[in-house]
Structure 1
Amino acid sequence: MITRRDPKAEQQVRGVSTPMRSRIICDTVTSDRMAGIDAFYTPAKLARRLIEFLPDTFSGTLLDPAAGAGSLLRAASDRFGDRVELVGIDINRRAIEELRRAEPSWSLSVGDTLSEPSRRATRAWRRARLSVGAVVMNPPFSTRGQAGRVFELDGFTFKVAPSLEFLLTTIRELHPTHGFLAILPEGALTSDRYGALWSALRRSFDVRVCKVDDSSYFPGARVSVVLVHMERRVSNPFPRERDAIAEWALHEPSMTDCRCVEIIRGRVPVFRVPNLKFESNAVPFLHTTSLRAPLSNESRYAPKSLADVAPFLLLSRVGRWSAPVEVDGGEYVLSDCLYALRTPDGSALPILARALEENADSFASAYRGTGAKHITLGALCSRLVEIGWSPTVRKAGSPTSASCDGSCGSISAGRKSTNLVQGTLTSRRALII
């Protein structure tokens, strides 16, 4: 979760001097004892749901590398009793001392899981490296002042948020017989930036994901979370499921008319518009408010050099699904909260608009995210292909207009080519120009 720095707790970490991640735990002792920290507890109900991934016959050592108040360990104890040895690590000494008094039979250590010297100095980590049945965690979703850390995995380099850094750290060093179980922000799985990472992980792990529909588990913070269970694939007699993006590329439309559509993702944040400099070459600036009011009411303008050429359909990228708005013609600068969908010469826009409205439920379900809901480029491409369109992603502000190159499956279409680039399958169906 989100935290402030706690200098006192920072001094309590043994053997390492690091910036404090006092919510390198995800549940804390009590709100009054951690008053300087934005702490969100792991609810017992959510902890029990995560532990349900384990089989009834589970036994052995169970590690929580961000133990906090011990919600996950306690849920495992309630279910398995004396059959499990419970082991926990936490960066906060007070949290560990409280747990030791409450649960003297548990093996608990003070340490920073994200620091190699610190975690390897703990008895709990050394115990888990020898033998561990499962690793459970509810890691911090973010830490204030940190934009993410660079992490290397199987030859790839990724910049990841703290929640994924916790998961990857344990994956790299531990080999639990029943896998890794984690509560993660939904964005850690659905964000485009992590697509390549999950493609790499799925090559070595069977990944099960359970969406938590109730976003009010954590009082005071409405976040969307998922439960993830990852087990290393020793031998898999069944063919691995195709990646969703690969399925898009394999789709062959039967229609002969052009169904090419360009996706333009706006790039200008609304708060920057007042500071943009221009003289006479100014065009209207469109934001999500343009979806609810006539375009003639727009009073904000931006430089023509950032404009895109209509006709196109406007879709909200952030928030929730609403019916597309058709813009007949002219030049407009798009907010970074909008998508514009453009077809060759605009003649197919009414057909596209009708197709979007007929499949509104499918598009609405694609708006996801840990905080503000949004639809990613990948999800939008997927939905468009599913209803028979051939999307191309074009950079905002490009001077050219939409055209058909035959990739939509029309009579002149040739076979498409595909390339795997950083874990994302791109094709003439989803080509970034």
Structure 2
Amino acid sequence: MKIAALLRSAALVTAVALIPATTATMAQVDGRAGPEFSKVFAVYQRIQASYVEPVEDEVLIRGMIDGMLGALDPHSGYLDGSDLQRLETMIDGNYSGLGLSVLMEDGAVKVISPFKGSPADKQGIKAGDYITHLDGKLIYGGDLDDAVAQMRGKAGTSIQLTIFRPGREEPFEVDVTRGVIELEPVTHELSAGNIGVITVNEFSADVGADVFKAWTSIQEEAAGRVSGLVLDLRSNPGGSLDEAVALSDLFLDEGRIVSQRGRARGETLLYDAETVFRGDMAEGTPVIVLIDAGSASASEIVAGALQDHRRALVMGERSFGKGSVQSLLPLGRDAALKLTTARYYTPKGASVQEGGIKPDITVPQLSDPDLALRSKYQTRESDLRGHLINELGIKDEELEADEIDDPRFKLTSEQLEEQGIEDFQLHYALETLRRTTKSSVALRD
């Protein structure tokens, strides 16, 4: 597949903009960095002449590229070959495997999040887990692409994962049967009391329109008497900036949604309400947005916009804190550069970089038996090596978790299970809406 076609598709599912590198810019780089480039060439020549074994030029060039990008933030990278194929798979949203989003962290394969309803999710694999072995073979210190290739395979076949979960003394093994992963960006249901629940799992193409359809279906099922709405963005790693704007615009009838500011010309952009959808589709309906530490990027744009405009109550846990935009810059027909080119800001001018979105009401996921252990080792943007610093300045105490015991959140996972509560955060949001009137806190006009 041609790189241009892939990039056109990628612009729909990642917060990207296509920016060509100009010859004038390259000339400036050459003039300023000439002496430094001579050092690079000298190292290359020395390796070719003196290294103990012959080294292919391709290996050295790729190493130089990876080294340059490794000096930047963790979201910039070079894509070719299998990397571009993985991007295509993400765009298609249909493949055979385990249903895991992973990254390489200090030589270890770390789970960002399992896709909801995937084989990995059903087997209890959680965000923050480390995969150390596949079918008993050590993968620590290896290549992420190789690990991903091994985890993918024909539906119906199984693979054994050895998992290290921070907080547990011993690793454990899980057998997972591969399945066909068909990512469903938006799901919905009508809960007791005519409370609608719309879950957005990723921000792929047409998510805004899909949420509108989900709301229409909820209205029809409730015979037009919807008492409240939960917009569930938990463990949603983000995606298209345009779709984040579209989803926010469904609930807003005026004002700024998000602003984007970069160093290059054309990277400072403003996004306002009433540009994608007209009016507030759920006008008069109390809305709660659920977020957690896995809610990132596009999810944070939506949560921040609805929170700043006081259109929704944000509930759950502090979000991931990824406040940057990546652009795909084509490098020929079969490679591309994924480069961080801008930061984005909420309507009130706050940057979510590092700090994330702080919920109006913090609600722990008490139904998770590993809550205490997982919370202790939770990973957010501020924990990633080389992450961008919030230029507005965030005090350390603002990032610290609230250690004060809340009398509302005393039940254990075992006690909740006895009561039939499998998802405490969702349960708490629904109960809040059932007690909510139009003059109360969940509708804060």
TM-score between the two structures when normalised by the length of structure 1: 0.25
TM-score between the two structures when normalised by the length of structure 2: 0.25
Task: Point out which structure has higher relative CO (alpha carbons under 8 A, 6+ apart).
Answer: 2
